[in-house]
Amino acid sequence: MNPAQSQLEQVFTRLYRYQHLVAMAGWDRATMMPPKGNEARARAMAEMDVLLHRTLTDSGLGALFADAEAAAGNEDEAAGLREMRRVWLMASRLPEALIEARSLAGARCEHDWRRQRGANDWSGFLANFEEVVRLAREEAAYLSDASGLSRYDALLDKYEPGVRSERLDRIFGEIKGWLPDLIARARARQAGDTLVYPQGPFPLERQRALGLIMMKKLGFDFDAGRLDLSVHPFCGGVAEDVRITTRYREDDFIQSLMGIIHETGHACYEQGLPRTRVHLPVGQARSMGVHESQSLSFEMQLGRHPGLIAQLSPLLEQHFGASEAYETENLIKLFTRVEPGLIRIEADELCYPAHVMLRYEIERDLIEGHVDCRDVPALWDEKMSAYLGVDSRGNFRDGCMQDIHWTDGCFGYFPSYTLGAMYAAQYFAAMRRERPLLDADIAAGDFGSVFSWLGRHIWSQGSRWTTDELIERATGSALDPVHYRAHLEARYLG
């Protein structure tokens, strides 16, 4: 390796160590920190964000990149430089003052949101939200001016490198063309089903014990991570110390259980990244869409697979007592029940993409300046009615205030969920071609074929390839929504 690239890797290794501490402080803020600690924690984390930015935009890095790229000796070194340069360029386009202001505004908005959401207090939330959006638009303007991308695409590129809204509009437009009919047909098919709904209460300690068992079954390494509580479920930390959170309801175990399975997919991706390179951008997760493809591989492809549900049946009886609600056939009906509702993270597999497309369209127009923050509730109500036939008027808590993402300025993130669902369907189509007995393996409780395939093709690759290259190398073709539609039709109409 040439000396310039070696020096760059030293800088990025230092950044990774800083990010480790920031991640732990963020986890603590979401799970353990007392409310009165928020302002001091917000200022401390803003200070760390400034330190990270200052390290990454050091005036000497430009010359190091030029020297390293001139002397790059092989494809691996070139890939490493490509990923470091991408991170460096993104940071170098933003002023330090904006970094600090954005961090503080997001921390304050997210903290107050926890209380305001429960109180259905849109007007109270709006003041903080307007500041977050103002700073996000300012960030988008800087990135857009430097890159030539539209303002929304400049933010989207942070989460989905190389993906543009034009491509999303085409893909989502295609999905909107067939999804409503598929939802209607699935609901008509299920109309005559007789279901037995589980009756609570479901003690929280038993829900936690069940979740831990499922995490172990799915390969989570408890020596490199843990499970905790938060207002909004997430997976955070770093690859060597992954933090999963969930939230419980005594009247419903399914939400928490599927949330844990979802977050375990994120965690196993992090735990499976290449350890020799995880401190560098090239060894880290490829994109948020690829990250979501791992959580949705676990939650949707595996978690709602009849073979896994059959194994879940005796576990539910063990933890909550005998009930015909826990019989395998009844559970399969419950876990694949199509029923439009208000809450994204509680949505069934068919309705979920409608929730994502709604948010994508609003945040895109919000960042581009086509709509104002005050317009969001009405737009939300309009799209919820049009896409899902659900009335959300006046219900800000379960409407436009339900997600954490916009509170800290994560605009451009939401498309990752549906991209991830499409990637996951394409992975499993490729797995079945490679391993025709895959479904029998899952039914027998052997997930090794799934984990081995994901490990070889996705986890171990980090960011060695661009997203399109990664998907094509793994599955034999670029992203093709036909696999997603085929999966949904097979599960809900087959």
Q: Is the pLDDT at 143 greater than 80, yes or no?
A: yes
What percent of the chain has pLDDT above 90? 97
Note whether 135 and 155 are within 8 A (CB): no
Say what the pLDDT of residue 52 is.
97
Instruction: Give the per-residue pLDDT at 29.
Output: 93
Burial class (CB in 10 A: 0-12, 13-18, 19+), 167: middle
When pLDDT is averaged across residues 46-61 and rounded to a whole number, the result is 96
Closest by CA to 365, choosing from 152, 157, 164, is 152
**Nearest 5°: CA angle at 413, between 408 and 416?**
155
Selected catalytic residue, list 83, 131, 160, 263:
263
Of 92, 77, 195, the closest CA to residue 147 belongs to: 92
* Domains detected in the chain: 3-149 (no CATH), 167-216+248-493 (1.10.1370.30)
Of the candidates 48, 54, 63, 141, the residue with the CA atom closest to the CA atom of residue 92: 54
Omega before 201 within 30 of 0, i.e. cis: yes
* Alpha-helical segments (H) within 93-221: 96-118, 122-147, 151-159, 165-190, 204-217
In the predicted model, is pLDDT for residue 73 greater than 90?
no
User: Among residues 302, 355, 326, 427, which one has the least CA distance to residue 183?
Assistant: 355
**Model confidence, pTM:** 0.96
Neighbours of 378 (CB within 10 A): 12
State the chain's mean pLDDT as an integer: 96
> What are the DSSP calls for 422-443, one per residue?
HHHHHHHHHHHHH-TTHHHHHH
CA distance 100 to 422: 36
Residue 219 region by backbone torsions, left for phi larger than 0, else alpha for psi between -120 and 50, else beta = left
Helix, strand, or coil (residue 444): coil
pLDDT at 250: 96
pLDDT range class, residue 1, cuts 50, 70, 90: confident
Contact between residue 239 and residue 274 where contact means Cβ atoms under 8 Å apart: no
> DSSP class of residue 249?
B
Residues 6+ apart with CB under 8 A from 9: 1, 80, 84, 280
Beta bridge partners of 237: 242
Distance CA 93, CA 5 (A): 22
What is the total residue count of the chain?
494
Specify whether 263 is catalytic. yes
Give the pLDDT confidence of 305-327 residue by residue, as tens digits.
Answer: 999 999 999 999 999 999 999 99
Q: What are 106-131's pLDDT values in tens digits? A: 999 999 999 999 999 999 999 999 99
